[in-house]
Structure 1
Amino acid sequence: MKTPKSTKIENIIPAYRMHTQSFINVLDGISEEDGLKRIENKTNHIVWMAGNFVNMRYGLGGVLGLQEQDPNNDLFFMGKTLDESLQYPSLAELKKNFHEISPKVYQKLLEVTDEELDEMFEIGMNIPFIKETKLNFAGMCIGREDYLSGQIGLMRRVFDYPGMKYDVDENINY
Protein backbone atom coordinates (compact mmCIF):
# COMPACT_ATOMS: atom_id res chain seq x y z
CA MET A 1 0.00 0.00 0.00
CA LYS A 2 1.19 3.48 -0.81
CA THR A 3 1.88 5.72 2.18
CA PRO A 4 -0.71 8.46 2.68
CA LYS A 5 0.31 12.00 3.66
CA SER A 6 -2.13 11.94 6.56
CA THR A 7 -1.79 9.64 9.55
CA LYS A 8 -5.47 10.28 10.32
CA ILE A 9 -6.64 8.62 7.11
CA GLU A 10 -4.59 5.42 7.56
CA ASN A 11 -7.57 3.45 8.91
CA ILE A 12 -9.94 4.65 6.20
CA ILE A 13 -7.77 3.61 3.25
CA PRO A 14 -7.78 -0.18 3.86
CA ALA A 15 -11.56 -0.08 4.39
CA TYR A 16 -11.97 1.96 1.19
CA ARG A 17 -9.93 -0.57 -0.79
CA MET A 18 -11.79 -3.53 0.72
CA HIS A 19 -15.09 -1.85 -0.16
CA THR A 20 -13.90 -1.61 -3.75
CA GLN A 21 -13.52 -5.38 -3.70
CA SER A 22 -16.86 -5.82 -1.91
CA PHE A 23 -18.68 -3.69 -4.49
CA ILE A 24 -17.32 -5.85 -7.30
CA ASN A 25 -17.99 -9.11 -5.46
CA VAL A 26 -21.48 -8.32 -4.18
CA LEU A 27 -22.69 -7.39 -7.66
CA ASP A 28 -21.00 -10.36 -9.34
CA GLY A 29 -23.47 -12.28 -11.44
CA ILE A 30 -26.52 -10.13 -10.60
CA SER A 31 -28.66 -9.81 -13.72
CA GLU A 32 -29.97 -6.44 -14.86
CA GLU A 33 -33.50 -7.81 -14.41
CA ASP A 34 -32.88 -8.89 -10.81
CA GLY A 35 -31.15 -5.60 -10.13
CA LEU A 36 -34.52 -3.86 -10.43
CA LYS A 37 -36.52 -6.26 -8.26
CA ARG A 38 -37.81 -5.20 -4.86
CA ILE A 39 -39.13 -7.27 -1.98
CA GLU A 40 -42.88 -6.72 -1.59
CA ASN A 41 -42.38 -3.14 -2.84
CA LYS A 42 -40.86 -2.31 0.55
CA THR A 43 -37.15 -2.34 -0.23
CA ASN A 44 -34.88 -0.41 -2.50
CA HIS A 45 -33.70 -2.42 -5.47
CA ILE A 46 -30.09 -3.44 -6.00
CA VAL A 47 -29.64 -0.83 -8.73
CA TRP A 48 -30.63 1.90 -6.26
CA MET A 49 -28.27 0.50 -3.61
CA ALA A 50 -25.38 0.26 -6.07
CA GLY A 51 -26.14 3.77 -7.35
CA ASN A 52 -26.12 5.16 -3.82
CA PHE A 53 -22.79 3.40 -3.21
CA VAL A 54 -21.29 5.01 -6.34
CA ASN A 55 -22.76 8.36 -5.29
CA MET A 56 -20.95 8.06 -1.95
CA ARG A 57 -17.67 7.73 -3.84
CA TYR A 58 -18.42 10.87 -5.84
CA GLY A 59 -19.45 12.67 -2.65
CA LEU A 60 -16.23 11.75 -0.86
CA GLY A 61 -14.25 12.80 -3.91
CA GLY A 62 -16.01 16.17 -3.93
CA VAL A 63 -15.25 16.77 -0.26
CA LEU A 64 -11.60 15.95 -0.97
CA GLY A 65 -11.47 18.44 -3.86
CA LEU A 66 -12.31 16.44 -6.97
CA GLN A 67 -14.41 18.27 -9.53
CA GLU A 68 -16.02 15.06 -10.87
CA GLN A 69 -19.83 15.01 -10.85
CA ASP A 70 -21.90 11.84 -10.50
CA PRO A 71 -23.87 11.57 -13.76
CA ASN A 72 -26.72 10.10 -11.68
CA ASN A 73 -26.53 12.54 -8.80
CA ASP A 74 -30.19 13.56 -9.17
CA LEU A 75 -31.24 9.95 -8.50
CA PHE A 76 -29.03 9.14 -5.51
CA PHE A 77 -27.73 12.27 -3.74
CA MET A 78 -28.29 12.18 0.02
CA GLY A 79 -29.97 8.78 -0.27
CA LYS A 80 -32.85 10.23 -2.29
CA THR A 81 -35.92 8.03 -2.04
CA LEU A 82 -36.40 5.42 -4.73
CA ASP A 83 -38.92 6.63 -7.29
CA GLU A 84 -40.18 3.84 -9.54
CA SER A 85 -41.47 6.36 -12.05
CA LEU A 86 -37.86 7.29 -12.89
CA GLN A 87 -35.45 5.54 -15.23
CA TYR A 88 -32.44 4.22 -13.31
CA PRO A 89 -29.08 3.41 -14.89
CA SER A 90 -28.08 -0.18 -15.57
CA LEU A 91 -25.78 -2.09 -13.25
CA ALA A 92 -23.22 -2.08 -16.08
CA GLU A 93 -23.36 1.72 -16.23
CA LEU A 94 -23.03 2.03 -12.44
CA LYS A 95 -20.02 -0.32 -12.45
CA LYS A 96 -18.43 1.82 -15.17
CA ASN A 97 -18.99 4.98 -13.12
CA PHE A 98 -17.63 3.22 -10.03
CA HIS A 99 -14.39 2.25 -11.77
CA GLU A 100 -13.98 5.76 -13.18
CA ILE A 101 -14.35 7.61 -9.87
CA SER A 102 -12.85 5.17 -7.37
CA PRO A 103 -9.16 5.40 -8.40
CA LYS A 104 -9.40 9.20 -8.39
CA VAL A 105 -10.88 9.24 -4.88
CA TYR A 106 -8.23 6.78 -3.74
CA GLN A 107 -5.50 9.10 -5.02
CA LYS A 108 -7.08 12.01 -3.14
CA LEU A 109 -7.16 9.90 0.03
CA LEU A 110 -3.41 9.38 -0.35
CA GLU A 111 -2.80 13.10 -0.91
CA VAL A 112 -5.06 14.68 1.71
CA THR A 113 -3.34 16.26 4.72
CA ASP A 114 -4.27 16.16 8.40
CA GLU A 115 -5.07 19.87 8.21
CA GLU A 116 -7.50 19.35 5.34
CA LEU A 117 -9.17 16.46 7.16
CA ASP A 118 -9.67 18.66 10.23
CA GLU A 119 -11.55 21.26 8.16
CA MET A 120 -15.19 21.64 9.02
CA PHE A 121 -17.62 20.05 6.62
CA GLU A 122 -21.23 20.58 7.55
CA ILE A 123 -23.17 17.40 7.07
CA GLY A 124 -26.31 18.77 8.70
CA MET A 125 -26.83 15.84 11.02
CA ASN A 126 -26.87 17.98 14.18
CA ILE A 127 -25.66 15.13 16.37
CA PRO A 128 -23.79 16.55 19.36
CA PHE A 129 -21.11 13.84 19.51
CA ILE A 130 -20.17 14.03 15.82
CA LYS A 131 -17.80 16.80 14.88
CA GLU A 132 -18.62 17.63 11.27
CA THR A 133 -15.20 17.48 9.66
CA LYS A 134 -13.93 16.09 6.39
CA LEU A 135 -12.36 13.18 8.27
CA ASN A 136 -15.64 12.24 9.94
CA PHE A 137 -17.45 12.55 6.61
CA ALA A 138 -14.95 10.07 5.12
CA GLY A 139 -15.69 7.71 8.01
CA MET A 140 -19.42 8.08 7.46
CA CYS A 141 -18.96 7.25 3.77
CA ILE A 142 -17.16 4.05 4.77
CA GLY A 143 -20.02 3.20 7.13
CA ARG A 144 -22.60 3.80 4.42
CA GLU A 145 -20.70 1.59 1.98
CA ASP A 146 -20.66 -1.19 4.62
CA TYR A 147 -24.40 -0.85 5.06
CA LEU A 148 -25.11 -0.93 1.32
CA SER A 149 -22.87 -3.95 0.75
CA GLY A 150 -24.74 -5.79 3.48
CA GLN A 151 -28.09 -4.86 1.99
CA ILE A 152 -27.06 -6.02 -1.48
CA GLY A 153 -25.61 -9.18 0.05
CA LEU A 154 -28.97 -9.94 1.65
CA MET A 155 -30.77 -9.28 -1.64
CA ARG A 156 -28.38 -11.74 -3.33
CA ARG A 157 -29.59 -14.49 -1.03
CA VAL A 158 -33.27 -13.53 -1.34
CA PHE A 159 -32.98 -13.81 -5.13
CA ASP A 160 -31.20 -17.19 -4.89
CA TYR A 161 -27.69 -16.02 -5.76
CA PRO A 162 -24.78 -17.51 -3.82
CA GLY A 163 -23.48 -15.46 -0.92
CA MET A 164 -20.91 -12.78 -1.67
CA LYS A 165 -17.34 -14.02 -1.91
CA TYR A 166 -14.50 -12.20 -0.24
CA ASP A 167 -12.02 -12.75 -3.05
CA VAL A 168 -9.47 -10.01 -3.59
CA ASP A 169 -8.18 -9.07 -7.03
CA GLU A 170 -4.71 -7.76 -6.33
CA ASN A 171 -4.66 -6.04 -9.73
CA ILE A 172 -7.26 -3.58 -8.46
CA ASN A 173 -5.25 -1.13 -6.41
CA TYR A 174 -7.92 1.33 -5.40
Structure 2
Amino acid sequence: MMDRSTSKKLDIVIPAFRAHSQTFVMVLDGISEEDAKKRIDGKTNHMIWMVGNFVNMRYSLGWVLGLKEEDPFSELFFQGKALDESFDYPTLAQLKESFHKISPLVYDKLLQATDEDLDKDFPMGMGVDFFKEDVLNFVGMCIGREDYLSGQLGLMRKILGYEGMKYNFDKDLKY
Protein backbone atom coordinates (compact mmCIF):
# COMPACT_ATOMS: atom_id res chain seq x y z
CA MET A 1 0.00 0.00 0.00
CA MET A 2 1.26 3.44 -0.89
CA ASP A 3 1.75 6.02 1.83
CA ARG A 4 -0.49 9.05 1.39
CA SER A 5 1.01 12.50 1.25
CA THR A 6 -0.66 15.48 2.89
CA SER A 7 -0.57 17.30 -0.45
CA LYS A 8 -2.18 15.71 -3.51
CA LYS A 9 0.45 17.57 -5.53
CA LEU A 10 2.97 14.91 -4.45
CA ASP A 11 0.91 11.87 -5.49
CA ILE A 12 3.32 11.14 -8.37
CA VAL A 13 6.42 12.15 -6.42
CA ILE A 14 5.95 9.70 -3.53
CA PRO A 15 6.09 6.52 -5.66
CA ALA A 16 8.91 7.98 -7.77
CA PHE A 17 10.96 8.75 -4.64
CA ARG A 18 10.45 5.21 -3.35
CA ALA A 19 11.25 3.72 -6.75
CA HIS A 20 14.46 5.74 -6.87
CA SER A 21 15.43 4.44 -3.43
CA GLN A 22 14.99 0.91 -4.76
CA THR A 23 16.89 1.70 -7.96
CA PHE A 24 19.75 3.23 -5.95
CA VAL A 25 20.20 -0.04 -4.05
CA MET A 26 19.76 -2.29 -7.09
CA VAL A 27 22.00 -0.36 -9.51
CA LEU A 28 24.87 -0.44 -7.01
CA ASP A 29 24.47 -4.10 -6.11
CA GLY A 30 27.80 -5.87 -6.47
CA ILE A 31 29.78 -2.79 -7.58
CA SER A 32 33.28 -2.88 -6.09
CA GLU A 33 34.89 0.13 -4.47
CA GLU A 34 37.66 -0.08 -7.06
CA ASP A 35 35.27 -0.07 -10.02
CA ALA A 36 33.22 2.76 -8.50
CA LYS A 37 36.27 5.03 -8.98
CA LYS A 38 36.84 4.19 -12.65
CA ARG A 39 36.23 6.70 -15.43
CA ILE A 40 35.77 5.81 -19.08
CA ASP A 41 38.57 7.18 -21.26
CA GLY A 42 39.00 10.02 -18.76
CA LYS A 43 35.75 11.52 -20.08
CA THR A 44 33.04 10.36 -17.70
CA ASN A 45 32.36 10.98 -14.06
CA HIS A 46 33.05 7.94 -11.92
CA MET A 47 30.26 6.16 -10.09
CA ILE A 48 31.39 7.64 -6.77
CA TRP A 49 30.69 11.12 -8.16
CA MET A 50 27.31 10.03 -9.54
CA VAL A 51 26.31 8.40 -6.26
CA GLY A 52 27.55 11.39 -4.26
CA ASN A 53 25.51 13.74 -6.43
CA PHE A 54 22.44 11.49 -6.02
CA VAL A 55 22.82 11.52 -2.22
CA ASN A 56 23.39 15.29 -2.28
CA MET A 57 20.07 15.64 -4.14
CA ARG A 58 18.38 13.88 -1.22
CA TYR A 59 19.97 16.28 1.25
CA SER A 60 19.00 19.27 -0.91
CA LEU A 61 15.44 18.02 -1.16
CA GLY A 62 15.33 17.59 2.61
CA TRP A 63 16.74 21.07 3.12
CA VAL A 64 14.08 22.76 0.98
CA LEU A 65 11.41 20.83 2.92
CA GLY A 66 12.75 22.08 6.26
CA LEU A 67 15.23 19.39 7.34
CA LYS A 68 18.45 20.75 8.75
CA GLU A 69 20.55 17.65 8.07
CA GLU A 70 23.93 18.45 6.52
CA ASP A 71 25.42 16.32 3.76
CA PRO A 72 28.84 15.32 5.15
CA PHE A 73 30.21 15.45 1.60
CA SER A 74 28.44 18.59 0.40
CA GLU A 75 31.65 20.41 -0.56
CA LEU A 76 32.33 17.67 -3.14
CA PHE A 77 28.87 17.38 -4.70
CA PHE A 78 26.69 20.45 -4.00
CA GLN A 79 24.95 21.77 -7.14
CA GLY A 80 26.61 19.11 -9.29
CA LYS A 81 30.12 20.41 -8.59
CA ALA A 82 32.43 19.09 -11.29
CA LEU A 83 34.51 16.01 -10.63
CA ASP A 84 38.03 16.87 -9.58
CA GLU A 85 40.45 13.97 -9.45
CA SER A 86 42.62 15.82 -6.92
CA PHE A 87 39.80 15.51 -4.33
CA ASP A 88 39.65 12.67 -1.84
CA TYR A 89 36.16 11.31 -2.49
CA PRO A 90 34.27 9.18 0.03
CA THR A 91 33.86 5.45 -0.46
CA LEU A 92 30.79 3.86 -1.96
CA ALA A 93 30.07 2.38 1.48
CA GLN A 94 30.16 5.85 3.10
CA LEU A 95 27.82 7.25 0.46
CA LYS A 96 25.39 4.33 0.85
CA GLU A 97 25.35 4.90 4.62
CA SER A 98 24.63 8.59 4.07
CA PHE A 99 21.85 7.69 1.59
CA HIS A 100 20.13 5.39 4.09
CA LYS A 101 20.42 8.02 6.82
CA ILE A 102 18.87 10.91 4.89
CA SER A 103 16.31 9.14 2.69
CA PRO A 104 13.77 8.10 5.37
CA LEU A 105 13.93 11.61 6.86
CA VAL A 106 13.26 13.22 3.47
CA TYR A 107 10.49 10.71 2.75
CA ASP A 108 8.72 11.70 5.98
CA LYS A 109 9.06 15.39 5.03
CA LEU A 110 7.56 14.67 1.61
CA LEU A 111 4.59 12.94 3.25
CA GLN A 112 4.08 15.90 5.61
CA ALA A 113 4.49 18.72 3.07
CA THR A 114 1.39 20.87 2.61
CA ASP A 115 0.23 22.70 -0.50
CA GLU A 116 1.32 25.92 1.21
CA ASP A 117 4.83 24.50 1.76
CA LEU A 118 5.08 23.45 -1.88
CA ASP A 119 3.79 26.77 -3.23
CA LYS A 120 6.52 28.79 -1.48
CA ASP A 121 8.86 30.65 -3.78
CA PHE A 122 12.25 28.98 -4.14
CA PRO A 123 14.53 31.04 -6.38
CA MET A 124 16.84 28.87 -8.47
CA GLY A 125 18.13 31.49 -10.86
CA MET A 126 16.86 29.70 -13.96
CA GLY A 127 15.15 32.75 -15.40
CA VAL A 128 12.85 30.92 -17.81
CA ASP A 129 9.23 31.93 -18.18
CA PHE A 130 7.80 28.39 -18.31
CA PHE A 131 9.26 27.34 -14.96
CA LYS A 132 7.84 28.71 -11.72
CA GLU A 133 10.63 28.77 -9.16
CA ASP A 134 8.89 27.25 -6.17
CA VAL A 135 9.40 24.34 -3.79
CA LEU A 136 7.17 21.98 -5.80
CA ASN A 137 9.16 22.49 -8.99
CA PHE A 138 12.44 22.07 -7.08
CA VAL A 139 11.11 18.73 -5.79
CA GLY A 140 10.36 17.78 -9.40
CA MET A 141 13.84 18.80 -10.51
CA CYS A 142 15.38 16.63 -7.78
CA ILE A 143 13.32 13.63 -8.92
CA GLY A 144 14.40 14.31 -12.51
CA ARG A 145 18.05 14.50 -11.49
CA GLU A 146 17.76 11.17 -9.67
CA ASP A 147 16.32 9.62 -12.86
CA TYR A 148 19.22 11.01 -14.86
CA LEU A 149 21.84 9.74 -12.41
CA SER A 150 20.19 6.32 -12.16
CA GLY A 151 20.44 5.97 -15.94
CA GLN A 152 24.09 6.96 -15.90
CA LEU A 153 24.80 4.47 -13.11
CA GLY A 154 23.02 1.72 -15.04
CA LEU A 155 25.09 2.45 -18.14
CA MET A 156 28.30 2.47 -16.10
CA ARG A 157 27.40 -0.98 -14.70
CA LYS A 158 27.33 -2.35 -18.24
CA ILE A 159 30.44 -0.50 -19.42
CA LEU A 160 32.39 -1.82 -16.44
CA GLY A 161 31.39 -5.39 -17.27
CA TYR A 162 28.66 -5.96 -14.70
CA GLU A 163 25.39 -7.57 -15.69
CA GLY A 164 22.40 -5.31 -16.04
CA MET A 165 20.53 -4.17 -12.96
CA LYS A 166 18.18 -6.74 -11.49
CA TYR A 167 14.75 -5.59 -10.37
CA ASN A 168 14.82 -7.31 -6.99
CA PHE A 169 12.63 -4.93 -5.01
CA ASP A 170 13.14 -4.89 -1.26
CA LYS A 171 9.67 -4.87 0.28
CA ASP A 172 11.20 -3.84 3.62
CA LEU A 173 12.65 -0.59 2.20
CA LYS A 174 9.91 1.83 3.24
CA TYR A 175 11.33 5.09 1.84
TM-score range, shorter chain: over 0.9
Deviation at 1:125, TM superposition (A): 1.5
Cα distance, 1:166 vs structure 2: 1.9
Identity percentage of aligned residues = 62
Question: Following TM superposition, by how much is the alpha carbon of 1:41 offset from its aligned partner in structure 2, in angstroms?
Answer: 0.6
1:59-70 matched pairs, under 5 angstroms:
59-70=60-71
TM superposition shift of 1:40? 0.7
SS at match of 2:123: coil
Partner of 2:39: 38
Which residue is 1:157 aligned to? 158
Measure the CA separation in 2 of the matches of 1:68 and 1:54: 12
Match of 1:94 in 2: 95
TM-score normalized by the length of structure 1: 0.99
1:148: which partner in 2?
149
Which region of structure 1 is more displaced relative to structure 2, 160-169 or 144-153? 160-169
C-alpha distance in 2 between matches for 1:15 and 1:113:
18
Deviations 1:1-27 (CA, angstroms, capped at 9, x unpaired): 222110101110000000000000011
Aligned to 1:8, the other structure's residue is in SS state helix
Deviation digits for residues 81-117 of structure 1 (CA, Å, limit 9, x no counterpart):
0000000000000000000000000000000001110
SS of match in other structure, 2:38? coil
Residue 75 of structure 2 is aligned to residue 83 of structure 1: no
2:6 pairs with 1:5: yes
**Matched residue of 1:169: which SS?**
coil
Task: Give the number of equivalent residue pairs.
Answer: 174
In the aligned structure 2, how far is the partner of 1:143 from the partner of 1:165? 21
Which 5+ residue runs of structure 1 have no aligned equivalent? none
CA distance in 2, matches of 1:50, 1:137: 19
Q: How far, CA to CA, are the matches of 1:120 and 1:64 in structure 2?
A: 12
Q: Distance in 2 between matches of 1:154 and 1:10?
A: 29
Q: How far apart in 2 are the matches of 1:115 and 1:95?
A: 32
* SS of equivalent to 2:8: coil
4+ residue runs over 6 A deviation: none
- For 1:18-33, what aligned pairs fall within 5 Å after superposition? 18-33=19-34
| TM-score, length-scaled by structure 2 | 0.98
Cα deviation for residue 37 of structure 1 reads 0.3
Mapped partners of 2:3, 2:12: distance in 1: 13
List runs of 5+ in structure 2 lacking aligned partners. none
C-alpha distance after superposition, 1:30-79 (max 9, x if no partner): 00000000001110000000000000000000000000000000000000
> Aligned residue for 1:127?
128
